[in-house]
Amino acid sequence: MTLEEYQKEAQKTALYPEAYRLVYPALGLAGEAGELANKVKKVLRDHGGRLSEEAREAILAELGDVLWYVAQVATDLGVSLERVAQQNLAKLRSRQERGQLGGSGDNR
């Protein structure tokens, strides 16, 4: 499946009011990213950092939810996930070429 195919299929399941375009999926993305982080935290706290198959599957499910919300944010912005991915890689390549992968700040 391509990113474009995923985005089109995911859009078919987007059931939120038009008045909340962009806001709804952005808030959902933050929530799902938090749920993913919480599952990883529990692997550290409860299992000494050992990733069981059950925990792996739970994290994978949350990652899918994160992807769905990323797709909806992109759709609501009128851009493809392909474009998002390409721009991100271009930014990272530029940072790598300039020796700026580490550190902080959006414009490094």
In this structure, the number of other CB atoms found within 10 A of the CB of residue 1 comes to 6
In a domain, 76, yes or no: yes
Domain region containing 74 = 17-98
In a domain, 85, yes or no: yes
In a domain, 103, yes or no: no
| Per-residue model confidence as pLDDT tens digits over 1-20 | 999 999 999 999 999 999 99
Q: Which of 13-17, 29-33, 79-83, 94-98 has the lowest mean pLDDT?
A: 94-98
- Check if the beta carbon of residue 4 is closer than 8 Å to that of residue 81: yes
Cα three-residue angle 15-23-2, rounded to 5 degrees: 60
Number of domains in the chain: 1
In a domain, 3, yes or no: no
Phi and psi for 11 in degrees, rounded to 5? -60, -30
CA-CA-CA-CA torsion sign (45, 47, 49, 51) = negative
In a domain, 107, yes or no: no
In a domain, 79, yes or no: yes
In a domain, 12, yes or no: no
| CATH number of the domain that residue 89 is part of | 1.10.287
| Per-residue model confidence as pLDDT tens digits over 46-93 | 999 999 999 999 999 999 999 999 999 999 999 999 999 999 999 999
In a domain, 83, yes or no: yes
